Amino acid sequence: MSSTLSTPLLDQIASPEDLRRLPSTDLRQVADELRADLIDAVSRTGGHLGAGLGVVELTVAIHAVFDTPRDRLIWDVGHQAYPHKILTGRREAMRTVRQEGGLSGFAKRTESEYDPFGAGHSSTSISAGLGMAVASEMDGRRNNVIAVIGDGAMSAGMAYEAMNNAGALDARLVVILNDNDMSIAPPTGAMSAYLARLVSGKAYRSLRERAKAMTRHLPEFMREGARRTEEYTRGLLTGGTLFEELGFFYVGPIDGHDLDHLLPVLRNVRDTNNGPVLIHVVTKKGKGYPPAEASADKYHGVSKFDVVTGAQSKPKANAPTYTKIFAESLVQEAHADDKIVAIHAAMPDGTGLDLFGQAFPKRTFDVGIAEQHAVTFAAGLATEGYKPFVAVYSTFLQRAYDQIVHDVAIQHLPVRFAIDRAGFVGADGPTHAGSFDTGFLCPLPGMVVMAASDEAELRHMVRTAVAYEEGPISFRYPRGNGTGVDLPERGSVLALGKGRILKEGTKVAILSFGSRLTEALAAAEDLEGFGLSTTVADARFAKPLDGELIAQLARHHEVLILLEEGASGGFAAQVLEHLARNGLLDHGLKVRPLTMPDLFVDHASPEAMVKASGLDRAGIVDAVFRALGTGARRVLQA
């Protein structure tokens, strides 16, 4: 902890019990100390900061009023849960957040009893909370369940599915809508505009007239609350909001940084709550830290930074990111083909489509956090002759699987999937690892599945996807910087289902799919040092497979290593099945698949995750020697 921090009250809080012992008049100071501590902690590690800064007062108020962990508190996404971690016994450990062996950057059940539900992906909190509320009701426990969800997360269909169900069940559930008018980027969509109107008071004023007439029908707790707090009365809006129509009692908008507003409202809800309640809290992302408040992304995610200046320390890169190469290549192609359109789900910067949006604002669609919709929306565009590119992180594409199957693949629609963050992503850990895309795309009839082994390949794959009209096509590429290869001026259209050989040998063959190719070439060098003549090939396609190439590698080598940065069930599984079906294993070929292990790998640096999974240079060499049999390395070394 920084010796310059003065946090006399926070120092006394080892758990929310301690917080609840303090008089309400101390809570403002607790919040100030908590904010300073949060900034100090994240400045040392990097991580998600803006969202946490915005919920400091809300976090203090919730823990002061509710009986956590008996009352269940769920943070949607969980990236804003850092202040919650500090107040729930993890203050010291916060100095390790997202580091190997340290705290997770999200809420995590195994980490604390104060985290009743893990997350990382958005918009799950209301569903999970409803399950807990119903269980509590069935058990007769009558504890409270509170789900805190952001305005960005509120754009996903799942939130409405949950509210629809909660309203019908009349469940005792508290949803706190943390409205900071920001997603990662400024939010888009009609829902966001609706919330803005509620906050600005336009909708509020007309509804208030109606509310006046309804006052005598208000439940007792609302009248009581209104009597007790003048501010609350002023901020109270009842009847007629979308949330009311869904069966929630709507309270708000409330200033989420003013404890004099938050505390009485939360107490009222706690003491008299009987059905679903939605408390609309207005906050500022980045609140209380000027560099965050001033930045465009409100310091959503930051690397280590200087607390005084806010300057972040970004490591110097020798090559552009894959994301940038994808975006630039797509912009280049879109200049030549006006049917190309680009879609992302609330991730303009992350997917690189901010660049595309600058060049083609009318051909760029931010659909909000709505991956399922993004895919079917793209399918609709494809039916009309457009060439939609859905740019999405591998992990978030998982959300849209039925849409890929039912809306795209069965109808053979040429939707192009640009799958970013494929493979280990490092600090965000298992919720964000891009592990499963190859495995879930390959079984789909007619789907073309590619992976880029460097940024030049990525450029070719963008061009290939533009040219391919027969059905859906995907290409995956990792988080971070490229390998530094020379880039072609423009990509070429790749021959469908054809790989390439980079180095020819006779004893060992390494067939790599995607990002591990550089390590495969390095491992081949090591193997040559042992006198093992090694072939290295880049498969490019997991579907259709290059049958000719696979047969050649299988027939003319003793060992075949299948390498990919993805879960088992992906590329290697496809090749193994192909080998088995075509009798290519019958002569005793020693095939070894190298994939991610069958476990959710905890956060660490991507390099450490790759190494721990045996997908690095040394891991590949080891796999070859294991295939050749015990003692092979010793004999060859001698």
Ligand X SMILES: CC(=O)[C@@H](O)[C@H](O)COP(=O)(O)O
Ligand Y SMILES: Cc1ncc(C[n+]2csc(CCOP(=O)(O)OP(=O)(O)O)c2C)c(N)n1
Q: What is the contact surface with ligand X in residues (CB under 6 A)?
A: 48, 77, 79, 184, 301, 350, 421, 425, 428, 479
Q: Is 155 known as a binding-site position?
A: no
Binding site residues, Mg ion, CB under 5 A: 150-152, 180, 182
Decide if residue 80 touches ligand Y (CB under 6 A).
yes
Is residue 303 within 8 Å of residue 313, measured between CB atoms? yes
- The question of whether 371 is a catalytic residue gets the answer yes
Q: Is 480 annotated as a binding residue?
A: no
Relative orientation angle of helices 27-45 and 56-65, to the nearest 10 degrees: 130
C-beta separation of 236 from 226 below 8 A: yes
Residues 50-79 that bind ligand Y (CB under 6 A): 51, 77, 79
Site string for ligand Y, 355-394 (x = CB under 6 A): --------------x-x-----------------------
Active site residue 285: yes
Among 88, 112, 122, 323, binds ligand Y (CB under 6 A): 122
Q: Whose CA is closest to 545, among 474, 497, 494? A: 497
371, 457, 564, 565: which one is catalytic?
Answer: 371
The active-site residue, picked from 85, 287, 298, 399, is 399
Contact window for ligand Y (CB under 6 A) among 151-159, 381-389, 469-477, 599-607: 151-159
Query: Residue 341 forms beta bridges with which residues?
Result: 388
The helix/strand/coil state of 589 is coil
Residue appearing with tokens 């495995």: 439
Q: Which does 421 bind (CB under 5 to 8 A by kind): ligand X, Mg ion, ligand Y, none?
A: ligand X
* 428: partner contacted, choices Mg ion, ligand Y, ligand X, none (Cβ within 5-8 A by kind): ligand X
Residues 293-352 that bind ligand Y (CB under 6 A): 345-347
Q: Which residues contact 240 (CB under 8 A, 6 or more apart)?
A: 207, 210, 211
122 is in an annotated binding site: yes
The answer to whether the annotation marks 446 as part of a ligand binding site is no
- Of residues 437, 381, 390, the one with CA closest to residue 411: 381
**Is position 301 annotated in a ligand binding site?**
no
DSSP bridge pairs for 537:
501, 511
DSSP state of 302: E
Which residue in 79, 51, 97, 22 sits closest to 288, CA to CA? 51
User: Considering only residues 250, 396, 436, 477, which one is a binding residue for ligand Y as defined by CB under 6 A?
Assistant: 396
Is residue 121 a known part of a binding site? Answer: yes
Tell me the C-alpha to C-alpha distance, in Å, between residue 254 and each of 23, 41, 177, 259, 417. Answer: 22, 29, 10, 10, 41
Which amino acid, one-letter code, is at 623? A
Q: 346 contacts which partner out of ligand X, Mg ion, ligand Y, none, CB within 5 to 8 A by kind?
A: ligand Y
Q: Which is nearer to ligand X, 81 or 537 (CB)?
A: 81
Rounded to a whole number of angstroms, the minimum distance from the CB of residue 520 to ligand X is: 25
CB of 142 to ligand X, least distance (A): 33
Size of the site for ligand Y (CB under 6 A): 22
Per-residue b/e over 254-273, b at no fewer than 16 CB within 10 Å?
Answer: bbbbbbebbbbbbbbbbeeb
Task: Considering only CA atoms, give the Rg of the chain.
Answer: 27
CA atoms in the 13 A half-sphere facing the CB of 539: 35
Query: Helix 259-272 and helix 220-228: axis angle, to 10°?
Result: 150
Residue 371 labeled ligand binder:
yes
Phi, psi of 626 (to 5 degrees): -65, -35
Q: Which stretch binds ligand Y (CB under 6 A): 147-155, 243-251, 336-344, 513-521?
A: 147-155
Does 587 belong to an annotated binding site?
no
Catalytic-residue membership of 384: no
Which of 536, 567, 568 minimizes the C-alpha distance to 549? 536
Give the annotated binding-site residues.
79, 120-122, 151-153, 180, 289, 371
**What are the catalytic residues?**
285, 371, 399
Q: Where does this chain bind ligand Y (CB under 6 A)?
A: 51, 77, 79-80, 121-122, 150-153, 180, 182-184, 285, 345-347, 369, 371, 396, 399
Give the annotated binding-site residues for thiamine diphosphate.
79, 120-122, 152-153, 180, 289, 371
